[in-house]
Amino acid sequence: MISDTTIAKYDVARIMGGLYGDGIIALKGAFTREWVQQLHEDVMRLYEEALVRPGGAVGRGPKRHYVEIHPEDIRGFVDLAMHPWVIAVCEAVLGPEYKIVEIGFDVPNSGAKVQPWHRDFPAPDDTLTGRRLNSLAFNLTTVDVEEDMGPFEIAPGTQWDAPVDFEHGMFPPKENYPRYEERAQKKYPKMGDISARSALTIHRGTANYSNKARPALVLGVDAPGAINAERHDLQITHGYYAALPEYLKQHLTCRLVDELEPIVQGHTIEGLMMGEA
């Protein structure tokens, strides 16, 4: 049984302590560099296609885009979704009936500006009053992140902050910034590393001063009762679905189709478009 064997490999208390404490955890060297290089090739191809397709890439600030994709668009989806650490984290925090609801990637390009501190969506009642995390975002860089490439920055522990005066429930007032900057941690993952975080933990992308893009794959997962699937359109063809492991089929919220349709991104974050003033 996958549930028992995978969770036994990892310390559930450490997983839950990290995500309920700092709001982010990571596993170094989860995948080989060769596997990640293949992912990078797929992501960059999909990015080029999205940039020329109307509505294919959504802005996340100057010189930044988010692209939602189909699982079968990349060669490593099953490897990612079935990785023992990913399964262990999902089951420990979200429960045995978790669902994958989103896959996509962020690309901060050369010249991307620092983002305002933000959450990816408003905190649900499960978190604000129930003190429970009901969703997770897994991130997988496709390049080695260096200081000048605009590393991801996060303010640990802020997933529990009450959204007092947050614009749209996502953007805290600037008087909160000194607290975030005091806590702030920049992340420098290497090819093969993977992280899991609460998207409610206050974070931002920093300025990319390099001449290189910094793509990162995103896998979104919900607990029962969470509603993030409503913001996305996870499609899988009947043939691809039939070949998936039975365990994975049970953990997908998706629409089965004969042919994949272009995704119309349903989760724009308007407050990121101008970058930080």
Q: pLDDT for 62-87, tens place per residue? A: 899 999 999 999 999 999 999 999 99
Q: pLDDT for 197-248, tens place per residue? A: 999 999 999 999 999 999 999 999 999 998 888 888 899 999 999 999 999 9
Q: What is the mean pLDDT of residues 187-203?
A: 98
Q: Among residues of the chain, what percentage have pLDDT more than 70?
A: 92
Q: For residue 39, what are the CA distances in angstroms to 48, 75, 237, 251?
A: 14, 7, 20, 22
Whether residue 1 is predicted with pLDDT greater than 50 in this model: the reply is no
What local confidence, expressed as pLDDT, does residue 206 receive? 97
What local confidence, expressed as pLDDT, does residue 117 receive? 97
Closest by CA position to 269, among listed 177, 187, 168: 168
Whether residue 277 is predicted with pLDDT greater than 50 in this model: the reply is no
* Whether domain 2-220 has CATH 2.60.120.620: yes
* Cα 166 from Cα 156, distance rounded (Å): 18
What local confidence, expressed as pLDDT, does residue 227 receive? 85
* Domain ranges (residues) in the chain: 2-220
Whether residue 55 is predicted with pLDDT greater than 80 in this model: the reply is yes
